Chains A and B, each alone.
Chain A
Amino acid sequence: MAVTDAPRIVTARIDHPDSYTLERALATGAYEGLRKALTMTPEAVAAEVDAASLLGRGGAGFPAGRKWAMLRQSPVTYLVVNGDESEPATFKDHLLVERDPHQLIEGVVIAAYALQVTRAFIFLRGEFALGLERVQAALNEAYAHGAVGADIFGSGFSVDIVVHPGAGAYICGEETSLLESLEGKRGFPRIKPPFFPAAIGLYGEPTVVNNVETMSNLPWIVTNGGAAFAALGEGRSTGTRLFALAGHVRNPGVYELEMAKTTFADLINAPVLGGGVRHGRELKAFIPGGVSAPWFGPDQIDLPLGQDEVGAAGSMLGSGSVVVMDDHTCAVRASWRITKFFSRESCGQCTPCREGSGWLERIMERIETGRGRPDDLDLLLDACDNIAPGLTWPPQQTTICVLGPSIPSSIHSAITMFRDEFLTHIKEGGCPHG
């Protein structure tokens, strides 16, 4: 599958049809990383993760080692794993929870050990019915196996893990909102500062929140050493990363690729990967990192899949979702669709996001359905500017969380890249794509 010869780190086991069982997991090296970690000091385990330069895989790309270091100053109390994955076209954690729950659990116990946490939570998207079933079953097996619970593998270290299903809101993937939800409250994001989870997290205690994929990398890192992980990739983008490829490609799916050594062109076009734009059409644009990310055009397809490289080009790798749009795609409709998603998923707490998302959606709908007006483009951009002042990247915000400033991304991209298409919609009173 790979275009480079990097090993598969988090998807090594998933080709086995029974990859989610303890039996298969043990036969393929599961919990070896944990056993090794338990022979090391917690500080040494954390040092390996730091050396690996493992960037968070949930969207913001913050180095896990550094996040933990902030925490290890204070007596950490909770570890929370974010498996809420609810963004459109994002489905890489989905694969990990369904196909390799033991790897996730092993990663959680390793992190718990490094952080000396005795209680961890895995927050899984409520719609992941099979994933929830498998993670819970695997957790029961892991308890029975002595890998979770009291005195793990006779080491004297204990941690309990609780699996908690989400209740169907995208916003609960935002870490502070997730914590509110976990506490049994409405999923309203908290204001940072002061509510950085590392300072005031779950039940007001310092808390580490990490993504499912971030956790799933830990067994390999401990087994093979942080240096081996850091040797993969380029610059700050080390190791491999899962990419959920969606849209108008021949082979949509989840691909594990070495970071920064591979390009979007490889991902989209390589025969073993995306296999190119489907139906022999041309590439119109692609979204490099989920629907919150600004779009790229065909001229940016040779950018490497590296965090800093994509950032410098004005977008982000974000949630690891790459959406391909072919030349038959209506840019207005595509960004309208994304805006509609955000409008439905805004938590409703703060004014610019709650009201702005709905208004933008209505304007986009008007343009797409032939009721646009000449000054609508200025209006769209100005309303966007009132949510994300300056429309810069990374965005500034008038809102509490970054869902708000994510709304302008697609609108701003679509207008900047395809202004004529908008004008045609307005002039011709409808969508030229039918």
Chain B
Amino acid sequence: MAEQPAGAPAAPTDATEGDFTFTLNGRPARGRKGEMLIAAAERAGVFIPRFCYHPRMKSVGVCRMCLVEVTGPRGAALQPSCYLEVTEGMEVVTDSPKVKKAQDGVLEFLLVNHPLDCPVCDKGGECPLQDQTLAYGPGESRFVEEKRHFEKPIPISDLVLLDRERCIQCSRCTRFAAEVAGEAQIDFSGRGEMIEVSTFPDEPFSSYFSGNTVQICPVGALTAVPYRFTARPWDLDQVESTCTTCAMGCRVAVQSSANRLTRILGIDSEPVNHGWLCDKGRFAFESVNAEDRITQPMVRRDGELVPTTWSEALDQAAAGLRRAMTDGGPEAIGVLGGARLTNEGAYLWARLAKGVIGTDSVDAQLGDGLPAETVLGLPRATIAEAASAATVVLLCGDLREELPVAFLRLRAAAVDGTTALVELAPQRSALTPLTTSFLQYRPGDVVELARALTGTGGPPQGVDAGALESARQHLGSGDVVVVLGRPSLAEDGAMVAEAAEVLAGLPGVRFLSALRRGNIHGALDMGLAPGVLPGRVGLEEGGAWFERAWGSVPARRGRDCTGILSSAAGAGDDESRVTALVLLGSEPSVDVPDRDLARRGLGGASFVVAVTSSPGEAVDRADVVLPAAEAHERPGTTTNIEGRVSRVAQKLVPPGQAWPDWMIASELARYMGSDMGIDSMAAVWAEIERLAPAYAGITADVLDAPWARDGVVAPFAGAPVSQAAVPLDPIAVPGVESVERQGAPPRAGSAVTPTAGPDGQVTVEQGTGGQGEGRPPVLAGPAGINAPHVAPTDSYSFRLVVGRTLYDGGTAVAMSEALTPLVTSAPLRVNPHDLDDLGITTGDLVRVRTARDSVVVPVAADPGLARKVVATELNVPFGDVTAGDLIDATSPVVELRLETP
């Protein structure tokens, strides 16, 4: 039995817990130091009505709805309970006639100017103002005058509309923007009853987090374009799930009406998202509803894709793959993608590829990731550990663009002043202004910089010596977490991995992955990468174990994405050439940074199977198309950046004949002559738990336990990580507390439930931590990466940095009506002095020459870049091309020449 962790399973109202006693309505209650009275009362089971109070933001005490009577030195007085810290011996009354009258009064005042719009208001039916008026308000209106009038709704951004007549001036939205997102783009203007939420002239509310304001607005003043008027709350059906738009794994409530998704709301998960979502995660559900989904199996006949039956499609797929194997052995088959799958789907596809077909040339990362052994083997930190570390080293892309809610968590840590940020990057990010040291390096110099940081080498040229010194001091004091991703897609991931392994030499350092794609961590954990097998084990160490279970495993290490595509394109040794590709929800020409390689690889393969839900180049090239169910259309589990395994829920019936991903793998195996013995998703999970070492102990019962609502981190330490099951902001997650959970209902007696020992200590059945029972060990320690050496350049060359932007040309955005207009074009950003040297300025065109190509694109000055470094973003319009056309995956850095066209 391990020590009982602090986050022990909490009863919904843990009223007995606290540092001292105070009196609440004549009865003793427990308060915590620094706790607001409103929260202490809520824990004690007394709900005080509120509008402006939000437990994740600083109190402002403006709506005055939460007034209660508090006895002070001068007798009882009305005090805002959201603004008053509970103290020992405090005497509080929340239900006296005086309190009741004050609360009635505030509600009546709020209704003075509030239009009685309820029948046409999106909030009607789930409105805290409506609800609290019914519960606490006066019976009838004494207000007979003319109400305040404003033009009805005005757009304050592309996604959010504001109805000023409905606003009750609670400042939740303005505080969210300033305090949580750090983008004070909305604020009040005017005064008295004409006070209104405003944007600044000509500056829309362009935050990636704007949808949160809609969710936390206690009335229908803020509405979101994709949801407006689509449904009435009482027609909505909802389940709790996890967002897989990126790898953060935010908890969500997924709502639908008539088998269409209508809305996604954030659920407050203490370890992960604190209730917030990014707008992409919130609104990209439109892509699931999209009209042009792939919903039918198809096969190519006489050059044309034609709809067919599942059995014919599977038969053709199996035949094509078998043919490739007969000609070139199992390694003739390459499998690309998998980050859009559930863990169950990823596992079965890994088993199909590695155990049935026998190829290790499988990669869920599409040239934009890091070697799997590095990601899986380095010591791990949770998000919460990163957000409370003394120092966080950012060795990743711009988190606001790639893992938006992770950005919010780290921003909060930096703003609170508890965490020092040290950033290693070739260009500035949204967190750069909050860093204590920003170490800007030239693409190619990252390993050298890591050595300098750990004191094992001299600093690379151009790195600020003061910043380096200060960073080294921070690394020497307190715990360090490295957030590890890809600072630039035009720089070889192996170099970043090697840099990470250098940093792994720091004492006590831990790593939090910043790989961004959906369920990429689940896919890697399930073995969808060369050299690894399910459960974070190496091919070598785990080979025997999985051979026993599966019958066989690949004979040798396979190729990664770049290797697979290069081989398919015809490069390299002929004898084991990749001739058949299986695309698992991947779209190489969009997902793989090196676009040219993607096209050549796809074009060079003689047989392509696309398992997908959306049209694109992969489908256009495919010989067999197998329609897959999308997120929200199948249940399962997903694993986020910290290795947290949580349930994703099915809310919709998949369209047409689309199947869940695990079922496609299982059936295809059968058509290939191998019965994997799987007949349900639950059976897949049971097999994962049994075979995948890092997932040992995470049984379905564990995932369904009430304390595991936020999921559990793999490897399972046997400790519940969940917080009390009270919704933190009950007025912004209407009805979510009653959300139905997916999966088997916990069976009496069989679930892992906490039991109270004789000493009253709550203990939980212990997990195995992934070890024992003959399971192979999980990967631990650096993989020993040796990145290619970068040759020095001549003084005319520029080096390219390619970052990401949240609204890119990826599938989720491209297929979401509300988000597509937000995709902007990306100029080539150049240091202004370099522009001067070229004699051009922002808006002009420049000719870019790479070793491969020459393109003409517009430029913009960026004083944040070093000299001789240029930058742009992947997958957004970039002149007539995309940045991917400049990237060469086979070269460690991308060098360019700039010329006036």
Q: Which residues of chain B come closer than 8 Å to A363, judged between CB atoms?
A: 145
Contact status B191-A355, CB under 8 Å: no
Report the bound CA distance from A400 to B62 in whole Å.
7
B65 is an interface residue with CB less than 8 A from chain A: yes
| B110 interface contact, C-beta 8 A | yes
Q: Among B76-84, B237-245, B271-279, B796-804, which stretch is in contact with chain A?
A: B76-84
Whether B143 sits at the interface, judged by CB under 8 Å, is: yes
Contact of B188 among A343, A348, A350, A389 (CB under 8 A): A348
Q: Are A386 and B108 in contact (CB under 8 A)?
A: yes
Q: Which chain A residues border B428 with CB–CB below 8 Å?
A: none
B109 — which chain A residues lie within 8 A by C-beta? 351-352, 354-356, 359, 386
CA distance A119 to B188 in the complex (A): 31
CA distance A354 to B101 in the complex (A): 18
Question: Is A379 within 8 A of B145, CB to CB?
Answer: no
Shortest Cβ distance from residue B95 to the other chain A in the assembled complex, whole angstroms: 16
Q: How far is the CA of A386 from the CA of B67 in the complex (A)?
A: 12
Within 8 A of B (CB), among A140-167: none
* Contact indicator B192/A350 (Cβ below 8 Å): no
Q: How far is the CA of A387 from the CA of B191 in the complex (A)?
A: 18
Choose from A359, A397, A399 the contact partner of B112 (Cβ within 8 Å): A359
Known: A386-B105, A399-B64. A354 touches B193 (CB 8 A): yes
Question: Chain A 156-198 against B: per-residue CB contact (8 Å), 1 yes, 0 no?
Answer: 0000000000000101000000000000001000010000000
User: Cβ of B192 and Cβ of A366 under 8 Å apart?
Assistant: no
Query: Is B191 touching A171 in the complex (CB atoms < 8 A)?
Result: yes
- Chain A residues in 8 Å Cβ range of B102: 386, 389, 398
* A346 engages B191 (CB within 8 Å): yes
The answer to whether B193 touches A358, judged by C-beta atoms less than 8 angstroms apart, is yes
CB distance from A367 to the nearest CB of B (A): 12
Which residue of chain B is the closest to A185 with respect to CB atoms?
Answer: B187
Q: Are B191 and A345 in touch, CB under 8 angstroms?
A: yes
In the assembled complex, B566 has its CB within 8 A of some CB on chain A: no
Closest Cβ of chain A to B186, distance in Å, is: 13
Is A347 close to B, CB under 8 A?
yes
Give the chain A neighbours of B65 by CB distance below 8 A: 351
Q: By the criterion CB–CB under 8 Å, are B80 and A389 in contact? A: no
Is the C-beta of A223 less than 8 angstroms from some C-beta in chain B?
A: no
For the complex, what is the distance from the CA of A403 to the CA of B62, rounded to whole Å?
A: 14
Asked if residues B142 and A396 are in contact (CB atoms below 8 Å), the reply is no
A389 near B78 with CB under 8 A, answer yes
Name the A residues within 8 Å of B64 (CB-CB).
350-352, 398-400
A389→B69 CA distance, assembly (Å) = 12
Q: Is the CB of B190 within 8 A of A348?
A: yes
Among A343, A349, A358, A387, which residue has the most Cβ atoms of chain B within 10 A?
A349
Q: How far is the CA of A385 from the CA of B98 in the complex (A)?
A: 11
A346–B193 CB distance below 8 A: yes
Q: Are A359 and B145 neighbours in the complex by a CB distance under 8 Å?
A: yes
CB contact between A348 and one of B60, B80, B191 (< 8 Å): that residue: B191
Given A351-B109, A359-B109, A186 and B62 touching (CB < 8 A)? no
In the complex, which residue of chain B has the Cβ closest to the Cβ of A404? Answer: B64
**CB-nearest residue of chain A to B76:** A396
Contacts of B60 in A (CB 8 A): 191
Is A427 positioned at the interface, with any CB of B under 8 Å from its CB? no
Chain B positions within 8 Å of A8 at CB level: none
Chain A residues contacting B168 (CB-CB under 8 Å) are 351
B121 to chain A, nearest CB (A): 19
* Range of interface residues on A (Cβ < 8 Å): 20 to 34
Q: Does A67 contact B (CB under 8 A)?
A: no
- Chain B residues positioned under 8 Å from A362 (CB to CB): 145-146
Is B61 in the interface zone, CB < 8 Å from A?
yes
User: Does B169 sit at the interface, judged by CB under 8 A?
Assistant: yes
Say whether A328 faces chain B, with CB atoms less than 8 Å apart.
no
B83 with A191: CB separation less than 8 A: yes
**B194-A348 in contact (CB<8A):** yes
Q: Are B192 and A348 in contact (CB under 8 A)?
A: yes
The answer for the CA separation of A87 and B592 in the assembled complex, in Å, is 68
Per the bound structure, the CA–CA distance linking A352 and B104 in Å amounts to 11
Q: Does B106 contact A (CB under 8 A)?
A: yes
Instruction: Determine if B289 is an interface residue (Cβ-Cβ < 8 Å).
Output: no
CB <8 Å contact, A355 and B78? no
Q: How far is the CB of A207 from chain B (nearest CB, A)?
A: 21
Return the CB mask of A323-357 against B: 1 if under 8 Å, else 0: 00000000000000000000111111111101111
B185 at the interface (CB under 8 A from A): no
Let me know if B823 is at the binding interface, CB within 8 A.
no
Among B60, B109, B188, chain A packs the most CB atoms within 10 A around the CB of B109
Q: Mark B140-173, 1 if CB is under 8 A from A, else 0.
A: 0011011010000000000000000000110000
Chain A residues closer than 8 Å to B148, beta-carbon distance: 358
A404 to chain B minimum Cβ distance, whole angstroms, is 9
B290 CB-CB contact with A under 8 Å: no
Task: Provide the residues of chain A in CB contact with B785, threshold 8 Å.
Answer: none
Nearest residue (CB) in A for B190 is A348
Chain A residues with CB under 8 A of B190: 348
Please name all residues of chain B whose beta carbon is closer than 8 Å to the beta carbon of A354 when the two chains form the complex: 109, 169, 192-193, 195
- Pick from B98, B108, B110, B192: contact of A346, CB below 8 A: B192
Task: Tell me if B434 counts as interface (CB < 8 A to partner A).
Answer: no
Cβ distance A434 to chain B, nearest Cβ, rounded Å: 24
Residues of A within 8 A of B112 (CB): 355-356, 358-359
B188 contacts A186, CB within 8 Å? Answer: yes
Taken residue by residue from 385 to 397, chain A's Cβ proximity to chain B (1 for < 8 Å, 0 otherwise) reads as 1110100000011
Chain B residues with Cβ under 8 A from A357's Cβ? 192-193
* Residue in contact with A386 in the complex, picked from B101, B145, B193, CB distance below 8 Å: B101
The answer to whether A355 touches B187, judged by C-beta atoms less than 8 angstroms apart, is no
CA of A378 to CA of B110, assembled, Å: 20
A400 to chain B, nearest CB (A): 7
Could you say which residues of chain B place their CB within 8 Å of the CB of A387? 105
Residues of B within 8 A of A345 (CB): 191-192
Cα distance A379–B108 in the bound complex, in angstroms = 12
Structural contact, B62 and A351, CB atoms closer than 8 A = yes
Q: Give complex CA distance A354, B188 in Å.
A: 14
Residues of A within 8 A of B67 (CB): 398
> Given that A346-B192, A363-B145 are contacting pairs, would A389 and B63 also be in contact in the complex, using a CB cutoff of 8 Å?
no
**Measured CA separation A358–B109 after assembly (Å):** 10
Chain A: CB-nearest residue to B195 = A348
Interface flags for B109-132 (1: CB within 8 Å of A; 0: not) read 110110000000000000000000
A131→B67 CA distance, assembly (Å): 42
* Least distance between B237 CB and chain A CB atoms (Å): 35
In the assembled complex, the CB of B672 is this many whole angstroms from the nearest CB of chain A, namely 68
- B61 — nearest CB in chain A belongs to which residue? A191
- B113 with A358: CB separation less than 8 A: yes
Residue on A nearest B104 in the bound complex, by CB? A386
Instruction: Report which of B62, B110, B142 forms a contact with A355, defined as CB distance below 8 A.
Output: B110
Contact A186 B187 (CB under 8 A): yes
Query: B107's closest neighbor in chain A, by CB?
Result: A351
Measured in the bound complex, the distance between the Cα atoms of B78 and A387 in whole Å is: 11
Taking the closest CB of chain B, its distance from the CB of A52, in whole angstroms, is 27
**Bound CA–CA A12/B109 (angstroms):** 49
Cβ-defined contact, A347 with B78, below 8 A: no
Closest A residue to B67 by beta carbon equals A398
Which residue of chain A is the closest to B143 with respect to CB atoms? A359
B188 cross-chain contacts in A, Cβ below 8 A: 186, 348
CB proximity of B243 to chain A, nearest CB, Å: 35
A383 to chain B, nearest CB (A): 8
Q: Which of B176-200 contact A (CB under 8 A)?
A: 187-188, 190-195
24 residue pairs bridging A and B, Cβ less than 8 Å apart: A191-B60, A191-B61, A191-B83, A343-B192, A343-B193, A346-B191, A347-B195, A349-B169, A351-B169, A352-B105, A354-B109, A355-B193, A356-B112, A358-B113, A358-B148, A359-B109, A359-B143, A379-B142, A383-B108, A385-B101, A386-B106, A386-B109, A389-B102, A398-B102
Binding site for A on B (CB under 8 A): 60-65, 67, 77-78, 80, 83, 98, 101-102, 104-106, 108-110, 112-113, 142-143, 145-146, 148, 168-169, 187-188, 190-195
Given known contacts A348-B192, A349-B169, A351-B169, what 7 new A-B pairs fall within 8 Å (CB)? A191-B80, A343-B192, A346-B192, A352-B109, A354-B195, A383-B108, A389-B101
The 4 closest A-B pairs by CB, nearest first: A386-B105, A348-B195, A355-B109, A362-B145
